[in-house]
Amino acid sequence: MHHYDVIQHKTTKFLQRKSDEHNASMINPKNYDPRRNNSTLMLFDRYMYPQVDYAIRRRLQTHPSHIQRLELEAVLNGHEGCVNCLEWSTNGRLLASGSDDFQLCLWDPFRRKRLHAIHTKHYGNMFSVKFLPKHNDALIATAAADKSVMLFDINSSQEAIYTCHCHGARVKRLATAPDSPYVFWSAGEDGVILQLDHREKHTCRSEDNRVRLINLTTYIDTNAEAKCIALNPVKTELLAVGANDPYARIYDRRMLTPSSSAAVLAAESFDNGRPIPKDCVNYFCPGHINKNNSKVIEHEPRAITYLTFNPTGTELLVNMGAEHIYLYDLLNAEQPVFLNLPEFKMSATICLEAEPDNCAEVTTPKCSSSNRRKLPENIDEYKKLGNELLENEQYLRAINTYSHAIGLESQWPVLYLNRATAYMRRLWFGDVYAALRDCHKALRLDSSYIKAHFRLARALLELGRPQEADECLKELIRRFPSYANNHGVLMLNKDIKENRQTTQSQQQANEAYNRLELSDDEFYWRSKAKDYSLRFVGHCNITTDIKEANYFGYNGDYIVAGSDDGNFFIWDRKSCNIHSVYKADSAIVNCVVPHPDICMMATSGIDHNIKIWSPLDGTTKPNAVTGIEHSVESNQMKMKTDPFDISTRNLLCWNG
């Protein structure tokens, strides 16, 4: 180890020990709450222990000992309506909130005290609040359903110092960039993204309007809505937009010019004066949702309710309404792969450690001990437990067990194949495609894995790709001729033929029903859409369209989001398994906003208050949900609500 690394290691260990001593030290009960929690420790750090290293505090933010003790610390009362938006200040000392009561409130959650209550002139539900950077947390922007954006200086007066009414529909989200203290962005349901500079005056909705950056209606359709927006914190030229469809878009602002020309009519030629350069935007969409093979598509009931970049700007996290949460690896994202078999290499381990016999539709001969590759003892225990759960139809627990084993050792094909089996039996949204991805992983590890090859063909058929399923099955027979008359192979071949006939009939019947014809540019962008890296399942997101999902921990160790069941979920980033669930609202949790530096979260939803969560001492956790499996399964049943009902509920919901 390099001498510098040795010194750094010793320094880190010392600071870690000091931090542990600090956490265990006695805090004067006359001055602070006697419970040792993040509020008292933050105050102690601020005034009495300044040498506690900032970087170490961040590193310990999601330490297991903290996460295990997470509980409700405080309830902040003061709003008279649903609290739809929360935002921590840059230094983490203040919390801003916006509500249906049109109030902008500023809180010191460590003292459980409301510092400011600004009665804004909004007359519609407030959906977004944002601190502008580099103004000592004094400037706060708001956006609301009244189609307006306002900017307040909390040190001056209750009146807005800047107002914009350029949007033609509800304004759902605001965004800021750390290197832009005067510029901020807004996303509205009129499909328009505005770039606002509060140093400049403009006349709203005038011909010389120079604040329009993007208009989705010019190249999607007139019903396009912008639902959310985010700026990459490292490469701030990259702007992510979520709309009322499943495609997350990332634009390069350097190739866009804010002007009224961005509002050209949809009928205008895209070849002459194209408002969006073809190479300035990248699309991201889960492979099972992306319909990139036709310009005429059905209207999509899914919408992106929230998206955010990770702190290093290398990932994009997307919460999709009527679906799940998806993470896109921006550095390594690729287009979805459906049928791309690896080069065939006959392996002596063709049988490998197989899944339970009753889980397989195609059978392989029993392996002898001489050609069976043994799993490590600890991995074998996970596999056996997963198989037992699979046989007992406990699919969620089986998938979690296999996922945990894969997190420990990822080179065993049987783990992916068995998890694929569980996915295809569970059949939640996206499960068949997740199974297909696992089959590809298993085949990359062992191209002679017959069961993975067969299950890949079955997954392709279930995904509505009978032609590719047929090609996959024919390749299986070519590679393994002795399986041509296998009962499972013959039955799958029959199913493929029947499916191809049914699919053609359905396409003809649905040809004129609920169709949308894409522009050339939109079809091109969607056809190039990149696939997700990770998927987080368990919550329900169908009733409101402002539900967030955020990274918890500077390194994104956990993912957090609210749910329609009044709970908020914490997922382990590495395994994608649910770590814990907490009851946080009487009806719906929309906002789950982790503190930027310490183990603390603020949540809000339909209730008229804000809840603060941090590690507490004590043996009981009254708000922790114990029947997680039941809650998750109930949520997935709700997610299968008819798309028409989902749309209706979104129109009638409290916040959406």
| pLDDT tens, residue by residue, 337-380 | 999 998 887 654 444 344 444 444 666 554 433 344 789 999 99
Q: So what's the pLDDT on residue 242? A: 98
Which of the four pLDDT bands, split at 50, 70 and 90, describes residue 275? low
The mean pLDDT value for 141-149 works out to 98
- Does residue 48 have a pLDDT over 60? no
Q: So what's the pLDDT on residue 13? A: 52
- Which of 215-219, 570-574, 615-619 has the highest mean predicted lDDT (pLDDT)? 570-574
- Residue 533: which CATH number? 2.130.10.10
Q: So what's the pLDDT on residue 617? A: 87
Nearest to 276 by CA among 310, 233, 239: 239
Q: So what's the pLDDT on residue 1? A: 47
Nearest to 97 by CA among 613, 655, 602: 602
Q: How far apart are CA 520 and CA 536, in angstroms?
A: 33
Which of the four pLDDT bands, split at 50, 70 and 90, describes residue 38? low
Residue 479 lies in a domain: yes
Token output for 413: 């094909």
Q: So what's the pLDDT on residue 67? A: 94
Q: So what's the pLDDT on residue 516? A: 79
Domain identity same for 454 and 594: no
Domain identity same for 460 and 548: no
| pLDDT tens, residue by residue, 279-299 | 999 999 999 998 777 788 877
Domain identity same for 255 and 188: yes
| pLDDT tens, residue by residue, 469-517 | 999 999 999 999 999 999 999 999 999 998 877 755 555 555 555 677 8
Residue 588 lies in a domain: yes
Domain identity same for 74 and 139: yes
Strand partners of residue 319: 306, 325
Which of the four pLDDT bands, split at 50, 70 and 90, describes residue 555? confident
| pLDDT tens, residue by residue, 370-428 | 344 789 999 999 999 999 999 999 999 999 999 999 999 999 999 999 999 999 999 99
- Does residue 28 have a pLDDT over 60? no
Residue 15 lies in a domain: no
Q: How far apart are CA 322 and CA 541, in angstroms?
A: 6
Residue 22 lies in a domain: no
Domain identity same for 171 and 313: yes
Which of the four pLDDT bands, split at 50, 70 and 90, describes residue 159? very high
Q: How far apart are CA 554 and CA 566, in angstroms?
A: 26
Among residues 463, 489, 505, which one ends one of the domains? 505
Q: So what's the pLDDT on residue 499? A: 87
- Does residue 116 have a pLDDT over 50? yes
Domain identity same for 541 and 600: yes
Q: So what's the pLDDT on residue 170? A: 98
Domain identity same for 197 and 268: yes
Q: How far apart are CA 390 and CA 218, in angstroms?
A: 49
pTM higher than 0.85 for the full model? yes
Residue 580 lies in a domain: yes
Domain identity same for 237 and 305: yes
Residue 188 lies in a domain: yes
Domain range for 468 is 377-505
Q: Are 372 and 349 in contact (CB under 8 A)?
A: yes
Q: Is 644 exposed, middle or buried (0-12, 13-18, 19+ CB in 10 A)?
A: exposed
- Does residue 234 have a pLDDT over 80? yes
Three-state SS at 51: coil
Domain identity same for 288 and 227: yes
Q: So what's the pLDDT on residue 255? A: 93
Residue 29 lies in a domain: no
Q: So what's the pLDDT on residue 56? A: 73
The mean pLDDT value for 453-480 works out to 95
Please compute, for residue 643, the number of CA atoms within 13 A of its CA located in the half-sphere on the CB side. Answer: 9
- Residue 405: which CATH number? 1.25.40.10
Q: Which of 1-10, 97-106, 459-468 has the lowest mean pLDDT?
A: 1-10
Of 8 and 598, more confident: 598
Q: Are 593 and 582 in contact (CB under 8 A)?
A: no
Q: How far apart are CA 125 and CA 127, in angstroms?
A: 6
351 Cβ neighbours under 8 A, 6+ residues apart: 364, 365, 366, 367, 371, 372
Domain identity same for 158 and 207: yes
Strand partners of residue 281: 251
The mean pLDDT value for 83-99 works out to 96
Q: Phi, psi (5° rounding) for residue 484?
A: -60, -35
Q: So what's the pLDDT on residue 504? A: 58
Of 278 and 24, more confident: 278
Among residues 505, 520, 539, which one ends one of the domains? 505
- Does residue 52 have a pLDDT over 70? no
Number of domains into which the chain is organized: 2
Of 366 and 115, more confident: 115
Q: How far apart are CA 331 and CA 339, in angstroms?
A: 23
Domain identity same for 553 and 461: no
Residue 346 lies in a domain: no
- Does residue 320 have a pLDDT over 90? yes
Domain identity same for 304 and 166: yes
Q: So what's the pLDDT on residue 370? A: 32
